[in-house]
Amino acid sequence: MEEFLPIASGLMIGALLGLIRPSMRWWVAVLLAVAFGVLATVVSGEYEISWGFLLIDIPEVAIAAAVSFWGLRYLRTSLRQS
């Protein structure tokens, strides 16, 4: 259950990236992935054990955001074609 926050926030970030100007998507995605990765580490209390958990939570948020963004993009283009 501790990994719910990084995955949920990544899915939310990916959904919101479609609303952002393409030239700014990369920077916004990186900034939000780092911010929510740090937040997930702090909220779960993993930072008390080691700050190395950031190396797990930040990529987890980024991967969930990428999956969400590309999945929604695929759905939009497939719905337009049909």
Domain ranges within the chain, ordered by starting residue: 4-81
The pTM (predicted TM-score) of the whole model is: 0.91
Are 58 and 34 a contacting pair, CB within 8 Å?
yes
Using left for φ > 0, alpha for ψ between -120 and 50, and beta otherwise, residue 45 falls in left
pLDDT tens for residues 51-82? 999 999 999 999 999 999 999 999 999 988 87
pLDDT tens for residues 1-27? 678 999 999 999 999 999 999 999 999
